[in-house]
Amino acid sequence: MTQTVSAAARVLRVLKALKGHTVTGLSNTELAQLTQDSPSNITRAMQTLIEEGMAVKLDNGRFAHSIGLLQIAQAHAEHMARLTHRMQEINQRIAAGSMN
């Protein structure tokens, strides 16, 4: 990489690079290519993500998001669905002229 990247930024870049590869995972080499970083830096970033429960090393040796991270994503989706439903209720009341 041409610029110095903090460890936190590197970890976040790796986490983002894993998007869409939850089942099949990505190899260290693929992550290095996607993030334009060295394999040794990717290894360190993955160690951090694994220690913090945000990623796993799959049986095939590739890396993927962890169930813990997917639970965070699911909780967000459910929260947004509840908010959307609530907003629809409010809009229906406003349209009916009976806001309470």
Q: What span, in angstroms and rounded, lies between the C-alpha atoms of 100 and 91?
A: 12
CA-to-CA separations, 69 to 21, 75, 93, in angstroms, rounded: 13, 10, 37
pLDDT above 90 (res 100): no
pLDDT band at 47 (very low <50, low <70, confident <90, very high): very high
C-alpha pair distances (Å), 79 with each of 51, 54, 70, 74: 27, 20, 14, 9
* CA 54, 28, 41, 43 torsion-angle sign: positive
Q: State yes or no: pLDDT of 1 exceeds 80.
A: no
Q: How far is CA 32 from the centre of its chain?
A: 17
Q: What class is the 1-65 domain? A: mainly alpha
Where are the chain's structural domains?
Answer: 1-65, 67-99
For residue 99, pLDDT over 90 is answered with no
The stretches of the chain forming alpha helices (DSSP H) are 7-17, 28-35, 39-51, 67-96
What's the pLDDT at 97?
Answer: 84
